[in-house]
């Protein structure tokens, strides 16, 4: 198996039963996360998401099974050294309150024995990466940060030693919805740029399908489905997964598919194209702009009371073609959720279909 094909993270029948518990918190989970991709772990409260995540950096020791990171046996590694090579971001950040932002971010580089100048340059670089001006924030105390800023510092700290793997446990759980949406979009951009391999625990299906190249659904300690988001939303493995994804799962899926995925063939007759009134910012011809999703197309149809819409890039989407694309069964993807396209899991999930 060549290096590119080796999953960055791989668990094999991983299990953990907490002392005194009657059943395992994690029960025989085999999960593969491809290099440079993001796997979102979802499932009901208590299903074992955090326990599984914390076994990956050995904050929790498994009872059974194997963990391989970049092909190497993680259970034979020294756990402290292992953790220095894995970024970890948790809800409520866990910043050291008595250290300023710079000292918090410098934690792992210091432990790794980096020289002072290298650490200072790195602190500034990662602060800039997460959108905080180093001059303004470097010497702030964690108490002088908003929830969203503190969360950004938490991400900067996790990135400080440039680890290839990042584990995130509900990183935006304590942030207000507006900040949360901004942080999600920024994080998505950052992760793509840096090519990190990420496992993110969330209870929010929308967040999982936005951030994940693949989504792993857990129930009672077991992994019940692991698939690219558009595939998961189109074809949940069973009634439990379908119920967990929500009755609006096909609507959620529309946001992942580019409008081009539903070009009507043959195109409808021109007289069915009713340009209607154009919402502010719409393409002057009334066509849907390039990069729009099928959800945007549906919104524009509702807004304009139209059953068909031209696309700026050519072609026409009709209500019928949109419905068909929303329900179309995706081609079976590889089990590790590796996206088929060269651009891993860009928000336009068509690349995954």
Q: Which residue number, 92 or 341, has a Cβ lying nearer to ligand ATP?
A: 92
> H or E element: which one contains 137?
helix 134-137
Q: Which residue number, 45 or 343, has a Cβ lying nearer to ligand ATP?
A: 45
Taking the C-alpha atoms of residue 148 and residue 126, their distance in angstroms, rounded to an integer, is 16
User: Least distance to ligand ATP from the beta carbon of 54, Å?
Assistant: 8
User: Least distance to ligand ATP from the beta carbon of 41, Å?
Assistant: 8
Q: Which of 58, 53, 56, 64 is nearest to 27 (CA)?
A: 64
User: Least distance to ligand ATP from the beta carbon of 28, Å?
Assistant: 15
Q: Which residue number, 55 or 156, has a Cβ lying nearer to ligand ATP?
A: 55
Beta carbons within 10 angstroms of residue 16's beta carbon: 22
Report the interface residues with ligand ATP, using CB under 6 A.
18, 25, 43, 45-51, 203
User: Least distance to ligand ATP from the beta carbon of 12, Å?
Assistant: 19
User: Least distance to ligand ATP from the beta carbon of 219, Å?
Assistant: 10
How many residues would you count in the chain? 353
The answer, yes or no, to whether the previous bond of 266 is cis (omega within 30 of 0) is yes
In sign, the C-alpha dihedral spanning 51, 55, 56, 62 is negative
Taking the C-alpha atoms of residue 322 and residue 56, their distance in angstroms, rounded to an integer, is 40
Count Cβ neighbours within 10 Å for each residue of 189-217 and write b for 16 or more, e otherwise: eebbeeebbbbbbbbbbebbbbbbbbbbb
The dihedrals phi and psi of 292, each to the nearest 5 degrees, come to -70, 150
Q: Which residue number, 171 or 310, has a Cβ lying nearer to ligand ATP?
A: 171
Q: Which residue number, 108 or 200, has a Cβ lying nearer to ligand ATP?
A: 200
Distances (CA, A) of 252 to 10, 189, 326: 28, 20, 9
User: Least distance to ligand ATP from the beta carbon of 230, Å?
Assistant: 24
Q: Which residue number, 47 or 74, has a Cβ lying nearer to ligand ATP?
A: 47
In eight-state DSSP terms, residue 65 is E
User: Least distance to ligand ATP from the beta carbon of 349, Å?
Assistant: 25
Q: Which residue number, 53 or 102, has a Cβ lying nearer to ligand ATP?
A: 53
Q: Strand pairing of 165-169 and 86-90?
A: parallel
């Amino acid at each position: 198996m060549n290096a590119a094909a080796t999953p960055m993270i791989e668990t094999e029948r991983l299990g953990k039963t907490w002392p005194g518990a009657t059943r395992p918190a994690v029960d025989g989970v085999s999960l593969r996360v491809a290099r440079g991709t993001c796997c979102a772990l979802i499932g009901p409260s208590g299903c074992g998401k955090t326990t599984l995540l914390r076994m990956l950096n050995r904050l929790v020791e498994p009872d059974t099974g194997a963990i391989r990171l970049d092909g190497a046996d993680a259970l034979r590694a020294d756990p402290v050294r292992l953790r220095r090579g894995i970024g970890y971001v948790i809800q409520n950040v866990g910043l050291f309150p008595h250290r300023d932002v710079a000292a918090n971010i410098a934690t792992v580089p210091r432990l790794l024995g980096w020289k002072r100048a290298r650490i200072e340059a790195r602190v500034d670089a990662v602060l800039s990466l997460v959108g905080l001006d180093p001059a303004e924030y470097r010497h702030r105390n964690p108490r002088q940060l908003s929830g969203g800023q503190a969360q950004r510092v938490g991400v900067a700290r996790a990135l400080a030693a440039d680890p290839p793997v990042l584990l995130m446990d509900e990183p935006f759980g304590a942030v207000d919805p507006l900040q949360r949406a901004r942080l999600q979009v920024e994080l998505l951009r950052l992760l793509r740029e840096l090519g990190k391999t990420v496992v993110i625990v969330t209870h929010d299906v929308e967040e999982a399908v936005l951030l994940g190249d693949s989504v792993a659904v857990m129930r009672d300690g077991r992994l019940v489905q692991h698939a690219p988001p558009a595939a998961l939303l189109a074809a949940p493995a069973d009634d439990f997964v379908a119920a967990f994804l929500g009755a609006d799962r096909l609507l959620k899926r529309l946001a992942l598919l580019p409008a081009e995925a539903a070009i009507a063939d043959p195109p409808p007759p021109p007289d069915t194209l009713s340009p209607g009134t154009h919402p502010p910012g719409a393409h002057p011809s009334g066509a849907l702009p390039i990069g729009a999703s099928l959800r945007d197309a549906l919104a524009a149809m509702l807004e304009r009371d139209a059953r068909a819409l031209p696309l700026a890039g050519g072609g026409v989407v009709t209500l019928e073609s949109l419905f068909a694309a929303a329900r179309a069964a995706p081609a079976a993807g590889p089990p590790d959720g590796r996206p088929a396209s060269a651009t891993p899991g860009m928000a336009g999930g068509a690349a995954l279909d």
